[in-house]
Structures are given as structure tokens and as C-alpha cells.
Amino acid sequence: MVEVRLENIVKRFGETVALKGISLHINHGELFTLLGPSGCGKSTTLRIIAGLDYPTEGKVFFGDQDVTNLSSSDRGAVLVFQNYALWPHMSVFDNVAYGLRIRKLPKEEVEKRVKWALELVKLQGFEDRYPTQLSGGQQQRVAIARALVVEPKLLLLDEPLSNLDAKLRLEMRSEIRRIQRELGITVLYVTHDQEEAMAISDRIAVMNVGTVEQVGTPRGIYEHPKTEFVASFMGKTNVIPAKVTEREGDRVTVEFESFRLEGLTYSGEKDDVVIVIRPERISLHPVEDAITLEGTVDLVEYYGFFVEVIGVFGERRIIARTISTREVSGIRPTQPIKFYIRRDDILVLPKQL
């Protein structure tokens, strides 16, 4: 168990810059997630922490120890690969025992700890199977057991659920969370799935094109995104380009199309902004301290327990999400509609892209 610090990590592959100076601090016993679209540099960051790649600039610390130049085999940061990387020529037992044998543990100790690890991932009795005889979920448990059995300082998980089907993914997600809590180890988790990240993480770092955009708790990031990218990446959201037309301290008036939204909060310098509104924060009924947008219904999409109403406001389409009630089922395209949004629920962020 260890605290991990990255200081200004830059990674160049030839001409391309994969990481543009990343600094992160991961606490003891924390499940920390790197979240971002593919190509954002999250896997590279993970590999640098694992010692499988070396940074071009910057330093990696485990606690107070500078491990930047330490080889992967000497770091004790064990990685569970996206494809599990189980050795097909070894049985489950031999796969899990590998790291222990490298450490030259006595035979009885090896057997004891392999047994412990396989019990932890609920694979007792699978010792003699070969990886090809296991299902995807079982293979992944073996990979996790193989990593945990050596008592890593830090467990690294690279998109561990991406090769599993939807149901198994949910199961393994809580399983990973359970094991992490049980052992109290530090886990660094990499994923591109924001829902997964929010469900599992203590804290999340959202990454985009080689930089960290925001670090925070799942709730903090979802509800208070600091950038347009984070806002739009975390779940379905309405992002509307707009212009600040009046300022009074951090109270501003913002305009888009022919709509004028007064009394919003914004302290940025740029006048080119985006308005971010979560679909579920739009009401179809009048609410307090709200801004009202009048438009027409374009489309109603039925998702079972909720419904999305897509309204057109000038040229702009805005999505509202609401519980599917009998009342809502009466809404038809082309009929006029009003969206009510509390001022608190409207985020104004500097335009980024």
C-alpha cells in the first residue's frame, strides 16, 4: 500500500506527445480512476506507473521513493492487463504462482498463498484448468488473483471490464470494489466508461489529449465539471455555445440564438462560453428561480422508466429527461413546449473546443 505521486510527466513517442505534463497524487488505500476517451493518454500513464514505459520527462514517486528509473520487475506495482495476459501454456495454479516462484518462496507458502488468492476471487478448484478452458470472467479473476497474490504495493487495472459482457461487467465491478475494500490496497483503475468510473471510484481524474482536466470525487466531477470537456464527457448533457453579454461581478447575462439568460454565475474571462445543462435537471413544470425556454417538441424518445423530450429552441436542440408518467406520454412532436431550468443547474463554462 502506497501513495503515488506523478510530477510533471511528459511522454513523447517520436514526434507525437502522448502526455503533456501530468501531475497526480493518489492516496493510500484509495481506488483512483483515470477516465478519458481512447487516445487520451490514460493507458500510457498507467504503463509509466507500472514501469513498462518510461517517461520522457518528469518523476514517479511511490511514497518518498523515486521509482522513475526502476524497472517494472522491481517496482511492485502490478498490472492486470486489458486482455488479462494469462500464459496459455500454464495452468491456473502456475499462472498465479508465477510471481511467488520468482520471489523464491518455499513450496508450501506458494501453495498457501495461491489458495488464498483463488479463494479471494472465488475460483477454488480451478487450479488445474488452463486459461483456454475458462470463461472471460474467470480468466479475469485469475489475472486479478495473479496480481494480488504477490501483495502488490499498488494494483493497476487497465480497462479490466472491457472484454466482458454487460451483466458480467456489473458483477465484476462490485467484485473488484469488494476485494479492494477487503484488502485495503491502493488501486489505480483505467477506463473510458464514465458510468463505471463513477460507480467504482473514490476519486477520478478525467484526462483529455495528454492532460488531466479535473480530479475529484465522482459526484464533484459530475455536478461541478470545471471544463466543457469534462461536462460533456460525463454523461449525456446539453452543451450550448453562447456569449456573455453583460457582467456584474460573477453574475452574468448569457445569450444564445434569440434567448437571453439572466442572473447566471460565471467568473471566467472569456466571453465565448458554453451553457451546460444536464437533461435530468430540466423540468417540464414551473419551478422556483428558473429560466423558462419556449420552443417546440421535435422528438420524444421512450426509454422505459424515463423519457427524453427533445425540444427545438430557435435552431438549437435541447434534451430534457424525465420520469415517464402518463402525462408525459401525451407529448407529441411539433406541439409547443416550455423547459424550466433552475439557475443553479445552469453551468457556464469557457468555450474550449
Partner 1 sequence: MKSNWNERLFGTPKFEPLVATSYLFPLLYLLFFLIIPVLAMLAIAFTYNGSLSLHWFREIFSFNSDYIKLPSTWSLFQSVKMPGTGETLYIIQGLDFGIVLNSIVVASVVTLLASLIGTIFAFLMARYTFPGKNLFRILLFIPLLVTPFVSAYVVQQIFSEYGVMSSILHALFGFRVRVDGLAGIALAQSITYYPIVYLNAYASFINIDPSLEEQAENLGSRGFHLFRTVTFPLALPGIAAGATLVFIFSLEDLAAPIVFHSNDLAKRIMSYQIFSKFLFGTGERSPLIAALAIVMLTLAIIAFLGIRKYVSLRQYAMLSKGGRWSPRVSKPRIGQALIIYLLLLPLLLFTITPQVGVVQLAFTEQHRVVTNVTDISASVAGLMYPTGPVANGTLVTPKGGWFFQGTVKGYSDSIGVINGSINGFFVGKVVVSGGKVSFLGNITYADFQGLASRYNGTIHTQMKGPLTGTGELLSDGTVNLTSTRFKATMFNIPAGKVSKFSFNYVKQMILTPDVRRYIVNSLLYSTVAVVLIVLLSITSSYATSRFKGALTPVLESIVILPMAVPGIVVAMGYFYFFHLVFPGTPLDPISPATFNPAYVLILAYSVRRLPFAARSVYAGLQQVHVSLEEASMNLGASRWKTVTGIVLPLISLNVFGGAMLSFVYAMSETSVGITLGSLNMAKAPITAFMKEVLLSAAGSINIAAALGVLLITVQIISIVLVNVITKQRYSFIGLS
CA-to-CA distance for 44 and 47, rounded, in angstroms? 5
Instruction: Pick the stretch among 44-52, 279-287, 298-306, 343-351 that binds partner 1 (CB under 8 A).
Output: 44-52
Beta bridge partners of 251: 248, 265
Of 52, 209, 300, 331, the residue at the interface with partner 1 (CB under 8 A) is: 52
310 binding partner 1? (CB under 8 A): no
Of 17, 85, 312, 328, the residue at the interface with partner 1 (CB under 8 A) is: 85
Closest CB to partner 1 among 53 and 345? 53
DSSP assignment letter at 232: H
Instruction: Pick the stretch among 75-83, 201-209, 219-227, 313-321 that binds partner 1 (CB under 8 A).
Output: 75-83
For β-strands 65-66 and 77-80, DSSP reports them as: unpaired
CA-to-CA distance for 181 and 193, rounded, in angstroms? 21
Q: Which one, of 109, 171, 167, 111, lies nearest residue 141 by Cα?
A: 171
Closest CB to partner 1 among 10 and 328? 10
Closest CB to partner 1 among 98 and 340? 98
CA-to-CA distance for 261 and 251, rounded, in angstroms? 11
78 binding partner 1? (CB under 8 A): yes
Reported in sequence order, the residue ranges of the chain that DSSP labels E, i.e. its strands, are 4-13, 16-26, 31-35, 57-62, 65-66, 77-80, 154-158, 186-191, 203-208, 211-216, 238-248, 251-256, 259-265, 272-277, 282-283, 290-302, 306-313, 316-323, 336-342, 347-350
Q: How far is the CB of 203 from partner 1 (least distance, A)?
A: 24
71 binding partner 1? (CB under 8 A): yes
CA-to-CA distance for 237 and 259, rounded, in angstroms? 19
Cell triple for residue 285? 413544470
Cell triple for residue 127? 487450479
The contact pattern for partner 1, residues 145-184, with x = CB under 8 A and - = no contact, is -xx--x----------------------------------
Closest CB to partner 1 among 36 and 131? 131
Closest CB to partner 1 among 70 and 170? 70
Cell triple for residue 72? 517494472
> What is the per-residue DSSP string for 80-93?
EPTT----TTS-HH
The contact pattern for partner 1, residues 214-253, with x = CB under 8 A and - = no contact, is ----------------------------------------
73 binding partner 1? (CB under 8 A): yes
Closest CB to partner 1 among 44 and 194? 44
In angstroms, what is the C-alpha Rg of the chain?
24
16 binding partner 1? (CB under 8 A): no
Of 24, 31, 45, 55, the residue at the interface with partner 1 (CB under 8 A) is: 55
The contact pattern for partner 1, residues 97-136, with x = CB under 8 A and - = no contact, is -xx--xx---------------------------------
Q: Which residues bind partner 1 (CB under 8 A)?
A: 50-52, 54-56, 68-69, 71-74, 76-79, 81-83, 85, 87-89, 98-99, 102-103, 146-147, 150
